[in-house]
Amino acid sequence: MTSMIVRAPLHWLAAQLPTVLWLTTMWVLLWGDLAIGTIIAGAVVASLCYAAARLPVIPVRLRFRPLRVLRLASAIGLDLLTSSVRVAFHVLWRPRQVRGAIVEVPMRTDSDFLLAMTSSALSLVTGSVVIELNRSEGVVYVHGLPIESERAVARLRRQARTTEELFAHAFGTSEDIAKFEHEAEGTDRKEER
């Protein structure tokens, strides 16, 4: 991550505003009432915490596409449901014979944020826990649970890539998406060979 160069106080203030707003929201939620006093106290505490901790300002390069996010959320919700039921089933039915596999999944995005989001979401979707992330080459290693055959390996890889695609389209900047499409074409061709 690049270190932040503070150009002007105003710029710095604008950059820290979202964090302070979020901390204030959390404070109000924890108190559980929307009185003016609570909000002011929250804003004060949040700014003090922010100033005391000297949190770095991280330039967030993300876009938010509501429809795509909705699609992503429903896909992940559905996946969480099926994978929970599946894991619960394996708990009850011969848990000692379940075999897994560690699968290499090359990622096509190059954005830190998208990679982080995708890899943590992968733990929630069907049969996978991310074990290792190779940032320089953009490869994640995923442990899939009920995997016996090559076909299941391919399915896991396909699913991880679908998750990545959903994230890229939901949160990526247009630059990210262009890069993603470009990379996707390249890897698809590689797979065909």
Q: Which stretch binds other proteins (CB under 8 A): 48-56, 63-71, 92-100, 181-189?
A: 92-100
State the nearest-atom distance from the C-beta of 145 to other proteins, in Å.
Answer: 5
What does the alpha-carbon distance between residue 142 and residue 135 come to, in Å, rounded to a whole number?
Answer: 14
Region of residue 114 (left: phi > 0; alpha: psi -120 to 50; beta: else): alpha
When binding is defined by CB under 8 A, the residue of 107, 121, 160, 170 that contacts other proteins is: 121
Region for residue 102 given its phi and psi (left: phi exceeds 0; alpha: psi -120 to 50; beta: otherwise): beta
Q: Are 103 and 141 in contact (CB under 8 A)?
A: yes
Q: Which of 54, 96, 151, 189 binds other proteins (CB under 8 A)?
A: 96
Report the alpha-carbon distance of residue 185 to residue 69 in Å, rounded: 23
| Residue 192 identity (one-letter amino acid) | E
Which SS3 state, helix, strand or coil, does residue 143 take?
strand
Q: Does 80 bind other proteins (CB under 8 A)?
A: yes
Task: Confirm or reject binding of residue 154 to other proteins (CB under 8 A).
Answer: no
Q: How far apart (Å, rounded) are the C-alpha atoms in residues 185 and 165?
A: 13
Among 3-11, 46-54, 64-72, 136-144, which window interacts with other proteins (CB under 8 A)?
136-144
With binding defined as CB under 8 A, does residue 191 bind other proteins?
no
Q: Does 102 bind other proteins (CB under 8 A)?
A: yes
74 is a contact residue toward other proteins (CB under 8 A): no
- Alpha carbon of 93 to those of 59, 70, 90, 96, 146: distances in Å? 48, 34, 5, 9, 12
Q: Does 164 bind other proteins (CB under 8 A)?
A: no
Q: Give the H or E element holding residue 99.
A: none
Least spacing, CB of residue 107 vs other proteins, in Å: 14
Interface positions, 8-37, toward other proteins (CB under 8 A): 26, 28-30, 32-34
Q: Which is nearer to other proteins, 108 or 143 (CB)?
A: 143
Binding site for other proteins (CB under 8 A): 26, 28-30, 32-34, 80-81, 83-85, 87-88, 90-92, 95-96, 98-104, 119-124, 127, 129-132, 134-136, 139, 141, 143, 145, 147-148, 153
